[in-house]
Every structure is written in C-alpha cells, then in structure tokens.
Structure 1
Amino acid sequence: MPNDRKAAKDANRKAVQEERIRMRQAMDTGEERYLPLRDKGPQKRFVRDFVDARWVLGEFLIIFALIFVVLSFVQDINVQAFILVGFWVLLALVAVDAFILGRQLKKRLTAKFGEVERGAVWYGVMRGLQLRRMRLPKPQVKRGQYPA
C-alpha cells in the first residue's frame, strides 16, 4: 500500500512539473492554450500586442529611479533638490502616459470588440510599467507593429 501512494505522489509531482514547463513555454511563445487565466483571451492578446508595440515611459521608471537613488547620495543640497524635483516630474509624466495609454486601449478595444472585458485596460497599463524584457508573456510583436 505505501508503494502505491508513493507512486501516485511521484506521478502527480511529475504531472505538475510538466504542466509548469508547458506554462513556462507558453509564456515565452504566447501560445494561448497554456497561458494562465489572467492572460487568456483575444482582448488580452490585443492589449499585450498594443502595449508591446508602443513606447511607454513607465517601462523606464525603474531605471530612472535607480539613477535618482544613486545621485541622491551627492552631498550638495542644490543637486538633491534638483534630483527630487526631477523624480516628481518623471512620476507625473509616467502617470500622464499611463492615463493616455488607458484611454487609447479603451477606445481601440471598444472599436474592435464592442464591450471591453473587465480588467483589460488595467492589465495593459500595468504591463506598460514593466521593463519590456521582464514582461510575461514575452512580447510577440516589435515596436511599432500595432495589432489590426
């Protein structure tokens, strides 16, 4: 009896591992069938392709934030004030860009699909805040290659 349980446990572990491998490959290739539920559907694919085709200021936020952190170690108070103002300006620009992206997404999704799926616009805005190389599922389009 213990051997059967052990074999069942091993088989289950192997099946779970294979499913994870399939999901990981789907994240790299964009294969719809094995994507997680949050990434499935034609609207989500459209959103991914639209965001990945566009230059989004938010994807550079992390890089600029690291630069600002390093520069903030400068002891001059004038330089620190300039750095702080620059960071707030960058945050404001990212917020405006995210707002514009959300409006564009909603407009295009409505034109193509009629009713916009709940959470699709937010999905796109959040994807735009990630570095392009770190996005999952991986971008399947080049910059400027907008979906039809």
Structure 2
Amino acid sequence: MFRSRSKDEQAATAKVTASEPKQPRDPQAPKGRPTPKRNQAQAQRRTRAHTPANRKEAQKAAREARRADMARQREALANGDERFLPVRDKGPVRRFARDFVDSRWCVAEFFLPMAVIILVLTMLRQPGIQNIALLLWLFIIVLIVIDSFVLWFSLGKRLKQRFPNENLKGVKPYALMRTLQMRRLRLPKPQVKRGERP
C-alpha cells in the first residue's frame, strides 16, 4: 500500500520532466527581490567587468593604477593642479603658505650652496681661511634661525587673518620646510613671483 516507487519508475518520471519545455515566467508574477536602482546595477556590472580573474592580474591592475596615480601627482606638482596634489599639499591654506614663502627671499634656500662653499673652504690647509669658514658657517646658521622666526610669526599672523575658521595645524612647519629647498627645486612649483603679494 505505501511502498516506495521503483528506481525505474523514478528514472522515467525524471526523463519526462526533463523533456518537457520549461515554462516562461509570467512577467506579472513577482520575482522575489526588489529591482535594483540604475546606478547600483551599473556599479555591479562595472565591478563584474573589471574584477580580475586571479591574484596575478589583480596585482598587475593595482600596480597600473598606482603608476597612473603617481603620474597624475607628478604632473600636478609641476603645474600646481589642486585636484591631483598629494594630501599634504592640498587645500587653500597650504597653497597660501606656499605662495607666502615663494613671494619672499629666504636665507634658508641658500643653505645648500653656502654649505658647499664652506666645506671647500674648510678643506684648505690655511688656518685663516678655515677660521673664516667657521665664522661664515655660524653667521649663516644665525641668519637662518632669525629668518625662520620672522617667517613663523608673520605667516601665523597672516593665516589667522585670512583663515580664521580653518585648521592651521602643521601649516607653519610645512612652510619652513619649503624655505629649505632652493626655489627652482620646490614642488609644487612656485605660482607667484618674488615680491608679489599672495
């Protein structure tokens, strides 16, 4: 009465159901999930299209993206394009600090050439020239310290006037580090001439 069907009967039933054509889904019937928004569907398609097949391809794609990003940053550093600058150089406050430094003569920017000259003078075997070189070294260091103090306080005053509600943390050390570079070697490239008000 309640016996199980034989294996032959089960196989025959499976063949019949497999040979029957699959009924198309009624378009009015609910599909059991919400329709995604267009931007979500496009994003899913893009991620599926750009997802690398294996780890090697993923590393290659990451390397290419990093290389393209670095090229954009180098170009931005050369022409001052704010969109692609590194994070430490972005923003109107940092731009103002750069322009403030670039618009004036700084003693610190001549440190490297003077250091080379002093080094050559100290290598000479004449005591008088070596004493002059040491005094020159001391004189340059004192001038750099004084100029840095003047820049620190004048820039701080101008920043408070110009950007009263902005976060000014780290801007003055950023400007001082810029003074240590020779003008033509500074990155981002100077956008103002000497003597021009930023």
The reply on whether 1:71 has 2:121 as its aligned counterpart is: yes
Deviation of the 1:73 alpha carbon: 1.3
Counterpart in the other structure of 1:140: 191
Task: Give the whole-Å Cα distance in 1 for the aligned partners of 2:70 and 2:120.
Answer: 38
Task: Give the whole-Å Cα distance in 1 for the aligned partners of 2:192 and 2:109.
Answer: 16
Task: Give the whole-Å Cα distance in 2 for the aligned partners of 1:70 and 1:44.
Answer: 37
Counterpart in the other structure of 1:5: 55
Unaligned runs of 5+ in 1: none
More helix by percentage: 1
The reply on whether 1:90 has 2:109 as its aligned counterpart is: no
Deviation of the 1:113 alpha carbon: 0.6
Task: Give the whole-Å Cα distance in 2 for the aligned partners of 1:7 and 1:64.
Answer: 51
Q: 1:2-36: per-residue Cα shift (whole Å, max 9, x none)?
A: 96333222222111110010011111111111111
Counterpart in the other structure of 1:121: 172
**Number of residues of Structure 1 aligned to a counterpart in Structure 2:** 146
TM-score by length of 1: 0.92
The reply on whether 1:81 has 2:131 as its aligned counterpart is: yes
Cα RMSD (Å): 1.5
Task: Give the whole-Å Cα distance in 2 for the aligned partners of 1:60 and 1:86.
Answer: 13
Percent identity of equivalent pairs? 45
Task: Give the whole-Å Cα distance in 1 for the aligned partners of 2:136 and 2:69.
Answer: 46
Larger radius of gyration: 2
1:32 pairs with one of 73, 82, 95: 82
TM-score by length of 2: 0.70
After TM superposition, the structure 1 = structure 2 runs for residues 39-78 of structure 1, keeping only pairs within 5 Å, are: 39-78=89-128
Residue type matched to 2:176 in 1?
Answer: V
1:14 pairs with one of 51, 64, 67: 64
Where 1:139 maps in the other structure, the secondary structure is: coil
Segment drifting more, 107-116 vs 49-58: 107-116
